[in-house]
């Protein structure tokens, strides 16, 4: 039983790590997609639009969180589903903000508009991934409450 439990735990951690790695990659993708416009504005000595700064902050927070969750014991901290829910709300707000601006926009050969249309859908995927993460972390937290320790089974958790 100990060997089987160890294999199941290992497979679970591998699946968890792959999921967090996908979140990390997509968050960094968003940082790159919106960062192009921020870099262009900075190079032209224009102001940075707050919407794009919000996108960068949301992407950065998500990338940092996904990176921290790759550390084995960090993801076992209770109540992390609250932070995942906050990130989900930030991503949904970002999707709504840029979706309203770009979903119905016609690119007509404009690479910048097409890039932003693509970024909107990456925002939606990020939002859905953080929703899945929040629900999964909530389930992990609920399942772990009131249980017994894994090693001896004597102490209440």
Q: pLDDT tens digits, residue range 8-23? A: 678 888 898 999 999 9
| 66 CB-near residues (< 8 Å, 6+ apart) | 20, 21, 23, 24, 27
Checking if the pLDDT of 65 tops 60, the result is yes
Query: Which pair of structure tokens corresponds to residue 90?
Result: 């930030």
Checking if the pLDDT of 2 tops 50, the result is no
> How large is the angle between the packed helices 2-43 and 50-69, nearest 10 degrees?
160
Read off the pLDDT of residues 5-60 as tens digits, 9 standing for 90 and up.
567 678 888 898 999 999 999 999 999 999 998 888 888 888 888 899 999 999 99
Q: Output the DSSP codes for 88-120.
A: HHHHHHHHHHHHHHHTT---TT-HHHHHHHHHH
CA distances from 130 to 47, 84, 101, 119, 137 (A): 31, 6, 23, 16, 10
Checking if the pLDDT of 61 tops 90, the result is yes
**Alpha-carbon distance 31 to 113, whole Å?**
16
User: How confident is the model over 148-156, as a mean pLDDT?
Assistant: 65
What is the band of 77 on the pLDDT scale with cuts at 50, 70, 90? confident
Q: Give the chain's radius of gyration (CA, Å).
A: 19
What is the band of 112 on the pLDDT scale with cuts at 50, 70, 90? confident
Domain boundaries of the chain, sorted by first residue: 2-144
């Amino acid at each position: 039983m100990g060997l089987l439990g160890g294999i199941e735990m290992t497979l679970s951690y591998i699946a968890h790590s792959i999921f967090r790695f996908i979140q990390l990659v997509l968050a960094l993708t968003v940082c790159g997609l919106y960062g192009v416009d921020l870099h262009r504005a900075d190079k032209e000595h224009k102001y940075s639009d707050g919407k794009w700064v919000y996108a960068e902050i949301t992407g950065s927070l998500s990338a940092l969180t996904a990176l921290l969750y790759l550390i084995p014991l960090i993801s076992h901290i209770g109540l992390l589903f609250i932070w995942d829910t906050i990130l989900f709300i930030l991503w949904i707000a970002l999707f709504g903000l840029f979706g309203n601006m770009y979903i119905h926009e016609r690119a007509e050969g404009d690479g910048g508009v097409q890039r932003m249309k693509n970024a909107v859908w990456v925002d939606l995927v990020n939002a859905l991934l953080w929703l899945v993460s929040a629900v999964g972390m909530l389930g992990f937290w609920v399942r772990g409450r009131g249980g017994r320790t894994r090693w001896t089974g004597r102490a209440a958790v």
